[in-house]
Amino acid sequence: MAFSNYLGHEDQISGIEEYRLVGGKGDGLRLLQVRNGLGLQCSVSLDRCADIPRLTFMGMNMGYFSPCGFVGSAYYDRREDHWLKSFTAGFLTTCGLTTVGGDAQDGDEFLPMHGTIGNTPAEHAHWYRKGDLLVIEADMKDCVLFGRKLQLHRVLEFSTTENKLTLTDTVENHGSEPSPVMVLYHMNMGYPLLSEQSELIIPSDRVIPRNAHAAEGLQQHLQFPAPTPGYEEQCYFHEFDQRGLAKIYNHGIGLGLAISFDPRSLNSFCQWKMPGEHDYVLGLEPGNCTPDGRVAMREQGRLQMLDPGEKATFRYDVVFYTSYDEWKNA
């Protein structure tokens, strides 16, 4: 007998539904609630780059939700480090599209912290079923008068036969001049996935501490302590020759995940270690640049450029596990 014969409506088991938040700084935010029917659930924020503010697996929270909570794009402040005042973090915040890192000056252009795309609403979005997939497509523009004219087309695919999500981004230069393109996928692990019982594996070929403070903790960079007052963040840049991979599993809750990507397109990976009190978060962040900024990328010969009409595609997969052996062998 067909599986569907048991159902009154296909959304009985899995599906995508649209909601709006009421109250606070998140008032009016359009959220798509996704359920794959196997234990994976998340929200996708159409008013914030179709990013993923919340994600749970088997009823357990996987991401970090910052003290800012839900914040609408109207509250975004691009001055200095005020980006942090609207940084929901969540399971995914996208940084870019022409700068990543702290605010900086590049010639005559001021570059706001981590760029503006993560605070940009989708101009067009739709969702549908395609075989065993739940699919969301969204378009965001990063354009200014007399300047860059980039468009981001995002496709999120959620499997209904396994606990897996795939993100595919295509950035296209609609302008008449070459443009930098910088992306960093700020994926933020949080409690209870993240705790002292978490096992972290990043099988990179090289690990480079971002600064002297990070170098002091290099031997323990894969270990996470309990929440620590006054902890100073540490960042590690990982380089992969063949396949990009980062995995985390919490032995206390028996759940984990693995992030995989192609290091030919996402050729940088930043591990952001921040086990502070209330700021208890681990960033696993594939990108085509480091958070050291556009000027540093240009000086290192690593700044990716898009010619007029040219496209760049970035993709990664996240698979979720209930079995330690399956996670270990992923």
Count of CB atoms situated within 10 Å of the CB of 28: 11
Q: pLDDT tens digit string along 178-227? A: 999 999 999 999 999 999 999 999 999 999 999 999 999 999 999 999 99
DSSP annotation string for 31-52: EEEEE-SSSEEEEEETTTTTEE
Mean residue pLDDT of the chain comes to 96
Tokens 């809750």 appear where?
Answer: 253
What CA–CA distances, in Å, run from 116 to 52, 103, 255? 16, 11, 33
The listed CATH number (2.70.98.10, 3.90.1150.10, 2.120.10.30, 3.50.50.60) that belongs to domain 91-328: 2.70.98.10
**pLDDT, tens digit, 9 for 90 and up, residues 89-103:** 999 999 999 999 999
pLDDT at 1 over 60: no
Task: For the beta carbon of residue 30, count every other beta carbon within 10 angstroms.
Answer: 17
Give the integer Cα–Cα distance in Å for 105 and 61. 38
- Token pair listed for 266: 């996402």
Please give the structure tokens belonging to residue 163.
Answer: 């606990």
CA–CA distance, 45 with 54 (Å, rounded to integer)? 9
Residue 104 in tokens = 């900086």
Question: CA separation (Å) from 194 to 65, 235, 256, 317?
Answer: 12, 17, 10, 20
Q: What per-residue confidence (pLDDT) applies to 80?
A: 82
Q: Please, are residues 69 and 54 in contact by the beta-carbon 8 Å criterion?
A: no
What is the per-residue pLDDT for 3?
75
Return the percentage of the chain with pLDDT > 90, whole number.
95
**Taking the model in full, what pTM does it have?**
0.97
What pLDDT does residue 129 have? Answer: 97
310 closest CA partner among 182, 139, 172 = 172
The model's confidence at residue 81, banded by pLDDT at 50, 70 and 90, is: confident
Q: What are the domain boundaries of the chain? A: 91-328
What's the number of CA atoms in the CB half-sphere (13 Å) around residue 116?
A: 21
Q: What pLDDT, on the 0 to 100 scale, is given for residue 2?
A: 65
| Spatial distance between the Cα atoms of 302 and 246, rounded to a whole number of angstroms | 23
Q: Are 265 and 312 in contact (CB under 8 A)?
A: yes
pLDDT confidence bin for 150, thresholds 50/70/90: very high
Position 79 scores a pLDDT of: 85
State yes or no: pLDDT of 82 exceeds 90.
no
Q: Is the pLDDT of residue 109 over 70?
A: yes
CA distance 167 to 74: 26
